[in-house]
Structure 1
Amino acid sequence: MTNPTLALTLGDVAGIGPEITAKALLAHPELREIARPVVIGDADAMRRGMRATGFDTDALVVIEDPREARNDPDTVELVQTGPSLADVPIGELSAAAGDGAYRFVVEACSLVRAGRADAIVTAPLNKAAMHAGGHDFAGHTELLAHEFGVKDYSLVLSAGDLYVFHLTTHVSLRRAIEDVTVERTTQVLNLAHGLARALGRPEERIAVAGLNPHAGENRLFGDEDADVLTPAIEAARERGIPVDGPIPADALFPAAMRRGRWNLLVACYHDQGHAPFKSVYGDDGVNITVGLPAVRVSVDHGTAFDIAGTGQANEASMVLSCVRAAELAPGWGAVVDALS
């Protein structure tokens, strides 16, 4: 593969998406040496983000097809998707912005399916805004899975060689406990092992965090670890997947993230994985969706309405997302094959 074409969705234009996109593409010319980034979004919102970050809006070039991109590091090349969002207020929840963020993702998926883009990089969207815009998805991950028609997938936080899979994500804690099932645990262990095989590390051990404190402490603090996680783990071992657990989360994450004992982790719910990961890695982490037929990498932060329009937003995670997408795209077929 030549340098992969990245369909970079602009996210919620009321937030910092346009600003971090402008900074990433215009202040980091080194990205053009490894990828061809093309923004999928709205030209007026992009210009507003460029002005906020001190860039000349003449650098914006609207194109019809990512294959037209010249990849000039002094330009931002954008495919206009839907009507103008010039009237969306900055820093406020907006149904129009939520609808726009949804459209950008749908278009990016369409471009990948048509072979006109090789990977997707997503700026943050606001879930409440997307719902207000009429689209009932819990977040990017679920929308992408729907567009690609896949059922076996996982949100994966990654930094370097570390990958943190999640059994559940954007649901309430009560719902998360219900959704931690033998079937879902089996599914995610297969995904994690498939990724390990594609990375050339089939013997790499996978560590599963316990759901309850102390992984249930022999049923003193709940039965889920013994009745759900353990059977799934034992069955995975019988299939030849190297798995450890369930391990108390307060022991597992420090051992993995501070001492490097494991690089493949499974968290039971959103904050169990996200809180320690963000505490340790901050802007050095990204969000990858494993299970899709194409690479998707996202920034590991939200829309930051409180600083939107000020030009203060840090583009580091967006730059890293583009780098990781460019690195992963050429070999992603091996991931897909490993999971099939």
Structure 2
Amino acid sequence: MHIKTIAVTLGDPAGIGPEIALKAVQALEKRLSAREFRLLIVGDVATLQMTGERLGLRVPPITDLQTLQDAPSAAILPTSRPTESIKIGTVSAESGRQAFEAVEIAVRQAQAGTIAALVTAPLNKEALHLAGYDYAGHTEMLATLTGVSDSVMMLAHDSFRVSHVSTHCALEDVPRKATAQRIGRVVDLTYQTLLGLGIASPRIAIAALNPHAGEGGIFGRHDIDVTSVLVKDYQSRNMNIEGPIPGDTIFVKLRAGHYDAVVAMYHDQGHIPVKLLGFSIDKATGEWNALSGVNVTLGLPIIRTSVDHGTAFDIAGKGIAQASSLLEAIDYALKLADQSDRQTTL
């Protein structure tokens, strides 16, 4: 029986990536033992061993590319040894290099068909830049590594899904980036992903760029001249696409189940509602104690999901990091990989 291999990259090894990766292995022990899939952690072995010893977590055995298909249900695929020691909770060029190398290795294996999907733990953009990799984040890095020019970020929390027309750019640049071609590309990729998740007739709403969808042109004409025209074209093809819907109501409707996904115009418009739902706050202390949510990159030739949080340097190494977002990302990756297999055999 062929067992799907899901690769988990450690992200920045000075953050919580090593901890949540080992906690995910622990949480998935029964499923891994039942050979539902194989989990391959890609990262620095010494960092994982140190994390396991300090927190009392089991560290999987080491494998290599030659024996990968014969690896146990959980294993480590090592990156090259660090050129200098990595200090937990500290930004460094070495951490950035390790984070990039893990992703590069996993991407190459996904392209070769060795792994079914890639799941990424968080990296630190400053560390990445110190290492000489000028990327705004994972999404842009993965696009370059796979030769894609127009990938799309989708955030998901249960049935709450939000794709983004633009992400890491200045707010003043959003109207220029939100062309009909780009919005259409995001809608199309979101539609295809929803089909892949088993939704037969996807319902997608496009968020307005301006308050009140421009209020008849008083607050700008982008929603009228660009989005409305695009939506009419989709509807003429009997696709259930709505918009532009004002940003202050569209996510309430999404949460109420009126849509299967929303297309947001810019980073904060889409991220804020997803993270408000995904982060659980302890009212007594005012601190977050759990989080969930998945970042899915659409438009790549490989399957990639990720946690919906950062490196959390402030709690790294303390043993209190939650693996819930990583576990959700692994489940999402498996769903997409299963659907990809079904489509391939049709």
TM-score, normalised with respect to structure 2: 0.89
How many angstroms apart in 1 are the aligned matches of 2:56 and 2:169? 39
State whether structure 2 residue 146 is matched by structure 1 residue 148: yes
2:26 matched to 1:18?
A: no
Residue 319 (structure 2) pairs with residue 302 (structure 1): no
For residue 57 of structure 2, the aligned residue among 29, 33, 55 is 55
Is the contact between residue 287 and residue 297 of structure 1 (CA under 8 Å) also seen in structure 2? Answer: yes
Change (3 A) 1:314 1:200: closer
Aligned residues: 331
Per-residue deviation, 1:202: 4.4
TM-superposition CA deviations, 1:276-301 (whole Å, max 9, x none):
11111332321111212222111111
Mapping 1:113-152, distance limit 5 Å:
113-152=111-150
Change (3 A) 1:90 1:207: same
Per-residue displacement from partner, 1:195-233 (whole Å, max 9, x unpaired)? 233344343221011111111111222222122222222
- Structure 1 segments unaligned to the other structure (5+ residues): none
CA 251–302 in structure 1, closer or farther in 2 if over 3 Å, else same: same
**Is 1:196–2:194 an aligned residue pair?**
yes
- CA RMSD of superposed structures (Å): 2.2
- Gapped runs of 5+ residues in structure 2? 280-290
Amino acid corresponding to residue 304 of structure 1 in structure 2: A
C-alpha displacement of 1:316 = 0.9
Q: Percent identity?
A: 38
What one-letter code is carried by the residue in structure 2 that aligns with 1:276?
P
Cα shift at 1:51: 2.8
SS of 2:122's equivalent?
Answer: coil
Could you tell me how far apart the structure 2 residues matched to 1:288 and 1:177 are?
A: 24
CA 1:50–1:86: 2 relative to 1, 3 Å: farther
Secondary structure, aligned partner of 1:142: helix
Distance change in 2, residues 1:199/1:28 (3 Å): closer
CA contact under 8 A between 2:63 and 2:71: conserved in structure 1?
yes
Cα shift readout 1:239-294 (whole Å, capped 9, x = no counterpart): 4432111001110101212x111111101111111111111133232111121222
Alignment of structure 1 residues 110-259 onto 2, 5 Å: 110-257=108-255, 259=256
Q: Distance in 2 between matches of 1:44 and 1:16?
A: 15
Instruction: Report what 1:7 is aligned to.
Output: 7
Distance between the aligned counterparts of 2:243 and 2:7, measured in 1? 38
Q: 1:55 to 1:334 in 2, by over 3 A?
A: closer
Give the Cα–Cα distance (whole angstroms) in 2 for the partners of residues 202 and 185 of structure 1. 22
Conserved? CA contact 1:45–1:85, under 8 Å: no
2:198, 2:88 → 1: CA distance?
45
Q: Which residue of 2 aligns with 1:269?
A: 266
| Displacement of 1:113 | 1.3
